Amino acid sequence: MARRKRSTTLIAGPRSRDESLLAAAEVTHRAKRLAEAREFDLAARWGEAHPGDQAPALASAPVYEANVLFGDRPLEVAGYGAPTVSEFAITEFATAVGMSSTGGRKFLGAALETKHRLPLLWARVMAGEVQVWKARRVTEHTITLPPHAAAQVDTQIAPIAHQCSFAEIERVANKAAAEADADQGEEDRAETAAGQYLRIALEDAEHNHGYVPIEGLLDLDDALALEAAIKTKAYALLEQHPELNLDLDERRAKALGHLADQALTGGDGEGARELVIYAHHDTREAHGIISLESTGGLSSTGSTITIEQLADWCHHANTKVSIRPVLDLTENLSTDRYQPTPRLREQVILTCLTCVFPGCGKTARRCDLDHITPWHHGGKTDSANLAPLCRLHHRLKTHGNWTYKRQDKTTFVWTSPMGRVYVNDLTHKRRRTH
Comparing CA positions, the residue from 410, 347, 340 lying closest to residue 381 is 340
The pLDDT value recorded for residue 168 is: 78
User: By the 8 A CB rule, do 72 and 87 touch?
Assistant: yes
Contacts of 48 (CB under 8 A, 6+ apart): 83, 112
- CB contact at 8 A, 404 and 412: yes
Q: The whole model's pTM is what?
A: 0.68
d(CA 326, CA 347): 10
State residue 300's pLDDT score.
41
Task: Give the span between the Cα atoms of 355 and 392, in whole angstroms.
Answer: 10
Return the DSSP state at 77. Answer: -
Whether the Cβ atoms of residue 172 and residue 134 lie closer than 8 Å to each other: no
Q: Do residues 177 and 145 touch, judged by C-beta distance below 8 A?
A: yes
- Is 270 strand, coil or helix? coil
d(CA 340, CA 356): 18
Q: CB under 8 Å to 404, separation ≥6 — which residues?
A: 356, 372, 397, 412, 413, 414, 415
Within 10 A of 11 (CB to CB), how many other CB atoms are there?
Answer: 6
Provide the residue ranges of all domains of the chain, joining segments of one domain with +.
19-184, 218-259, 277-317, 334-429
From the CB of residue 310, how many other CB atoms can be counted at a distance below 10 Å?
19
Q: In terms of C-beta distances under 8 Å and separation of at least 24 residues, what long-range contacts does 212-218 make, across chains too?
A: 214/256, 217/192
pLDDT at 137: 92
Per-residue pLDDT of the chain (434 residues; tens, 9 = 90+): 555 656 555 555 677 888 889 999 999 999 999 999 999 999 999 999 999 765 444 444 444 444 555 678 899 999 999 999 999 999 999 999 999 999 999 999 999 999 999 999 999 999 999 999 999 999 998 998 889 889 988 998 999 988 888 787 778 777 766 766 565 556 666 666 667 888 887 766 666 666 788 888 887 778 888 888 888 888 888 888 777 777 888 888 888 888 877 776 665 555 555 555 666 666 666 666 766 665 444 444 456 677 777 777 666 545 566 666 667 888 899 999 999 999 999 999 989 989 999 999 898 988 999 999 999 999 999 999 999 999 999 999 999 999 999 999 999 999 999 999 999 998 876 554 43
Residue 418, pLDDT score = 93
Are residues 177 and 274 in contact, defined by beta-carbon separation less than 8 angstroms? no
Give the Cα separation of 380 and 386 in Å (integer). 8
